[in-house]
Amino acid sequence: MKILCLLGSPRINGNSSTMAHKFCDILKEKGAEIKYVELNKLNYRGCQACDACKKSYAHCVLKDDLAETLETAKESDVIVLASPIYFGEVTAQLKGFIDRTYSYIVPDYQEKIGKESISRLKPNTRFVMIISQKSGEEILAIDDIYPKYKTLFEMFLGIKEMLLIRGCNLVNEADAINNKELMKQIQLAAMEFIV
């Protein structure tokens, strides 16, 4: 089983990264092959709305550091999206990747939606969203990005399963690793995750 883990925080030893590693380490013990990508180290642009992926090509035509990762995602069984919440969203680094997944949607998708698959991802690709945030359990509506992305990924990328792992009250880089309850919760979620 191939797992692509996208790290969206600029803090490479920060909370979302720690949480993602904790989750993926267990999956690795279960035999999964993990590829980590530190998005902040790559140079890439957001989607240019050129529609080349709908007209002439079955992939994104931008030739930048994200090109390889976009191809790796197509061959992956599980894609882990790890990010802190920044102003009620994932970081710009992860949002840049998400916008480029527009290239996974087939041409004429508006006519095909709801009738046939419109995604270029593998049919049973699963997503795991790992979120770290400063706000507490009483999650502010603006920070609750999971339902929105779940709906969009189901609708346009054909995702049937998307797991959420959320860490609250995380401010300093080591807060997640020092939160034994959170680490246990992630361990259990990973053990229950079928590889």
Ligand X SMILES: Cc1cc2nc3c(=O)[nH]c(=O)nc-3n(C[C@H](O)[C@H](O)[C@H](O)COP(=O)(O)O)c2cc1C
Note the residues at the interface with ligand X (CB under 6 A): 9, 11, 14-17, 84-88, 132-135, 143, 170-171, 173
Angle (nearest 5°) at CA 2 between 157 and 11: 80
Nearer to ligand X, 93 or 125 (CB): 93
Amino acid at 177: I
Nearer to ligand X, 171 or 191 (CB): 171
Residue 91: CB minimum distance to ligand X, A: 8
With CA atoms as reference, report the closest residue to 127 among 26, 5, 28, 42.
5
| Contact criterion met (CB below 8 Å) for 195 and 165 | no
Residue 170: CB minimum distance to ligand X, A: 4
| Contact criterion met (CB below 8 Å) for 8 and 91 | yes
Residue 85: CB minimum distance to ligand X, A: 4
Residue 141: CB minimum distance to ligand X, A: 11
Nearer to ligand X, 159 or 170 (CB): 170
| Contact criterion met (CB below 8 Å) for 43 and 64 | yes
Nearer to ligand X, 106 or 139 (CB): 139
Nearer to ligand X, 27 or 182 (CB): 182
List b or e across 27-48, with b for residues whose CB sees 16 or more CB atoms inside 10 angstroms: beeeebebebbebeebebeebe
* Residue in the shown chain whose Cβ atom is closest to ligand X: 14
Residue 80: CB minimum distance to ligand X, A: 13
Distance CA 144, CA 92 (A): 17
